[in-house]
Structure 1
Amino acid sequence: MSDDLRSRLRGSGYRLTPQRELILGAVETLRHATPDEVYAEVRTHSTAVNISTVYRTLEVLEELGLVRHAHLSDRAPTYHAVTGHTHFHLVCRNCGRVESVDPEMVQPFVEALRSQKGFVADVGHLTVFGDCEECPS
């Protein structure tokens, strides 16, 4: 992680700081986290990071393509690392469960958008809200 992160940051005119490493590490550990949750995780390792640093760093990391955000609730955006596979999210409105889903599941829809509307969908930013099978309807 550090060598790739270092080269991507340097290529964009940034330095690899301990705070940036901690914040990216927190996103990777938590898998899906709001800036406040990232901040809480970082604070377990260092008190030298404030919430403003978390927000600014998440913006930089997203600009560099190392993290993405999605809107999994009406709260703050939720960030996840892009080191795993591209996915979209299913969110249960009852229990709040979040499930990552392979984009091939919506490939026919994505292809229809491209062929019929000339639109290229960003499935990695997609969130579908509904009720999971474990919650009563």
Structure 2
Amino acid sequence: MTGTWHEQLRARGYRVTPQRQLVLEAVSRLGHATPEEICGRVQETARGVNISTVYRTLELLEELGMVTHTHLGHGAPTYHLASEADHVHLVCRGCGEITEVGPELVEGLVSRLEADLGFGTDVRHLTVFGRCRNCRP
């Protein structure tokens, strides 16, 4: 869908509220962030916004295709703008560093899953765990 996020919300019958604006701006500024981190950023401007409002807003924005989430560990999901979601996450189990790489690096895996199993992979939610070069023995 094209147009500003304001236009996207209105075109789908939703109002542009200050809370929605603050949540979307927080996601944009923070990059990968948990709902709690997003809430903390929003509360810097609007103290009255609580975590429930942030969760509901993130759910709506994801439903509308404006944000997406991934799981980078056992904790809460992390959210980022859907327009910037075309990447794979590499998470180091040693130092916790998160590296983003293009989907072309896993194309062999994606192709093999499709050819062998008929499985279509959504790499936007792909997270690979391991150890970075600094943490490897």
Q: Normalization by structure 1: what TM-score?
A: 0.92
Whole-Å Cα distance in 1 between the matches of residues 6 and 39 of structure 2? 21
Q: CA deviation at 1:134?
A: 1.2
Tell me the residue number matched to 1:56.
56
Distance 2:12 2:129 in 1: 36
Partner of 1:75: 75
For 2:46 and 2:79, locate their aligned partners in 1 and report how far apart those are by CA, in whole Å: 20
Q: Deviations over 1:72-100 (max 9, x none)?
A: 01111111112325111000111111111
Percent of paired sites with the same residue: 53
Give CA deviations for 1:29-80 in whole Å, capped at 9, x if unaligned.
1100000000011111221311111000000111111111111011111111
Gaps of 5+ in 1: none
CA distance in 2, matches of 1:112, 1:73: 25
Gaps of 5+ in 2: none
Distance 1:106 1:62 in 2: 25
What is the CA deviation profile of residues 92-133 of structure 1, one whole-angstrom value per residue up to 9, with x for unaligned ones?
A: 111111111100101111111112211110000000011111
The answer to whether the 8 A contact 2:89-2:127 is kept is yes
2:31 corresponds to: 31
So what's the TM-score if we normalise by structure 2? 0.92
Which stretch has the larger CA shift, 108-117 or 125-134? 108-117
Report the CA distance between 1:10 and its aligned residue: 2.3
